Amino acid sequence: MWKRKVEDMKTRYVVFLVTIFLFYMISVSCGESNPSLSRLPSAPNFVLKDLNGKKVTLTDFKGKVIILTFWATWCPPCRAEIPHFVDLYSAYRSKGLEVVGISLDSYNVGGLKDFVKKYQITYPVLVGDNKISSDYGGITSIPTTFIITQDAKIFRVYVGYVEKSDFEKDIKILLRK
């Protein structure tokens, strides 16, 4: 049984790496100044609950550029990116940006609410599950952040800590469209 779980994890990891590579190749081939958004893969829809128990879907954010970040409270790079997302959300929300954090913690919602309050997170935080992790390529490293276009296409994927300026470049490209 243990060997099977290890093999399953290896397979998921390889699939994840191939997916990331393909997303990278697509984003590079599109060019930064004029990406061909029609060739980008679609972002999987989801139904998750927010911290108040309300169901939220990707389609709720239709027409917006979305930063969709998978994170956890115990992850130092995730915590380091939170101020970036708070700042970007504040600066670009009125221009069509949505930031959505998907917590992969096994925390209870009360603990997660306390964390959100402590870190002054102003953007929506959803409670993730195995299905969304799998749907988005098998999230094996956090933070993993997807930049999603107004028509729900995956424009770029970042794995690991990313500087605010890199996210901002993507936002500016997509909000010009």
| Residue 78 designated active-site | yes
Position 123: which residue type? Y
Q: How far apart are CA 172 and CA 33, in angstroms?
A: 10
Position 12: which residue type? R
Contact (CB, 8 A) for 177 and 150: yes
Residue 67 CB coordination number (10 Å): 25
Burial class, 145, CB count within 10 angstroms (exposed 0-12 / middle 13-18 / buried 19+): buried
Residue 35 CB coordination number (10 Å): 22
The single residue of 78, 116, 147, 159 carrying the catalytic annotation is: 78
Which residue's entry shows tokens 């590579």? 21
Residues forming the active site: 78
